[in-house]
Chain A
């Protein structure tokens, strides 16, 4: 493990400029908004003096690079801006809503892993048999079905007609685990399906590649049971690429959460962003997008670091 430290440091150093660039992109994005943001804030009938003074107080009269540095400085201190509508700090709303999104995406992740990993492994073992074809069809559908439509259809069938699950509303799982879970099952599963299909395919192809390799034959030649060969030798090597895919797909979960929360009316960060966009509350939009992007970068960093456990050769590249 100690040999991994230089690798970890290297990854961390790479990480910082990326973060800065991400922040730059968000900053740049919002400053593309046509028109004067202060006028947008105060309304068209604001008096010119007001506009000038507000602009000064918000620092909007300073040159852009200065604004950017100030903004980044604020972010580092936890200040993600203030909502135009509610005048509350964005970070406050993030703190309230992000847990919901986290639960949604985590459940979706679990669902997708439980579905995809075993099926991907089995599809590799039973390559080109009927089971494999079923798998291919299933995953193809999984990546072609629009998640939000699936959510709508699921609502239609399960909530409206069969009534198994509640359709809208939310109970936090930290308050009431089982009831909260009931509310999350439909959204988490429709959100996770796409990812499940992608990860399943990746697992299958990774396993196929590994099973062809000589150390698998060698493991068998040592007298190991087929079960051991697959779960110990093949899997550890095959999991690496799957792990990278999982990390990347988590981003899709975060993005998809926006849509899923809208479909199921969950009080999460995603829905908040959409509502803020309608309300033209740009500081909120800016702050939330930045926040999610940062989380995603951190997750990918963690995945990168984990990868070296599955493939020790990577440190040396």
Chain B
């Protein structure tokens, strides 16, 4: 098994005036070369921080990667000097952000920003760089790329901006792409298009994608494996089919039940929308034992006292739950 990314027991904490927020509290996950891994969980569960930690982009202060290993092709990124990390950023690992309007610099043209990515990592002439950039824009299906490349971000629509982000992310043929909610800010009709382009091009270069999202539907359609996070920890992971058909963790089950079905609220057999009772715990003040305990529909007494250990349900399918075994 060829792992392009292997995160082992990562802990990233935020030290603030109000206390220590354990945003990532012992997370382990891996990606195989070329696979799409869905990282799901609600806002604040630590998925974005995990991605930022990989590239050491966590703002310090107040954030700090406290312990753990992040192996890229076997090399521990957390031990590397920042200079080498910069060489990796954008080149071997690239990141796509959620809101392209705010992640593209409004003061520079598309051309400036794309070329900058190229010049930072390659010795390349201006003309050739521009040609590559235009070719990339064509691949992401931006009409008239030679003209649009001179536009400013605010002159493009949301979907096109995100395609530019994808173009930039793929320009240097990375091994791993961190996609942080890449379509959340887009219209529903555009989402599918953008994702299609992302997957198609990524497959062509054989890159792996860490798809961070709270949208289970996206994961079901495209990912091969899923990792579910809650309150800074991994609660369940496994192949997509196993998770969707045989979820063992009550949180995962709750998430799956929350997706409304067509006709659910109409007619004679109306059902209310399912919701997981309770609220997410404060990351400053995590309870001992299982973090999900306060909201669990059928906990055991052990759950309040001890953090659950990870157990295998079937090949590749693991759950951290005293009950889910």
Contacts and interface: CB of A to CB of B under 8 A. Distances in A.
B265 interface: no
B86 interface: yes
A221 B180 CA distance: 12
Interface stretch (A178-186, A211-219, A283-291): A211-219
Contacts of B52: 217
Given A220-B57, A225-B86, A214 B117 contact: no
A219, A222, A225, A312: residue with the most chain B Cβ atoms closer than 10 Å: A222
B172 to A, nearest CB: 9
Nearest to B52: A217
Contacts of B322: none
B99 A214 contact: yes
Interface residues of B, number: 27
B105 A233 contact: yes
B104 A215 contact: yes
B102 A221 contact: no
B57 A217 contact: yes
A236 B97 contact: no
B89 A220 contact: yes
Contact of B55 (A215, A221, A237, A311): A221
Contacts of A222: 89-90, 94, 116-117, 120, 168
Contacts of B88: 223
Given A223-B89, A313-B154, A214 B108 contact: no
A214 B103 contact: yes
Contacts of A215: 102-106
B102 A213 contact: yes
A215 B153 CA distance: 12
A221 B95 contact: yes
A310 interface: yes
Interface in B102-151: 102-108, 116-117, 120-121
A72 to B, nearest CB: 40
Contacts of B99: 214
B154 A214 contact: no
B117 to A, nearest CB: 5
Contact of B57 (A213, A221, A312): A221
A224 B57 contact: no
Interface string A292-317: 00000000000000000011110010
Contacts of A223: 86-91, 117, 120-121
Contacts of A233: 105, 107-108
The 6 A-B residue pairs with the shortest CB-CB distance, nearest first, are A223-B89, A223-B90, A222-B90, A215-B105, A221-B95, A214-B103
Interface of A: 213-215, 217-225, 233, 236-237, 310-313, 316
Interface of B: 52, 55, 57, 86-91, 94-95, 97, 99, 102-108, 116-117, 120-121, 152, 154, 168
Given A223-B89, A224-B120, 18 more contacts: A214-B97, A215-B103, A217-B52, A218-B97, A221-B90, A221-B97, A222-B117, A223-B90, A223-B91, A225-B86, A233-B107, A236-B105, A236-B107, A311-B106, A312-B106, A312-B107, A313-B154, A316-B154
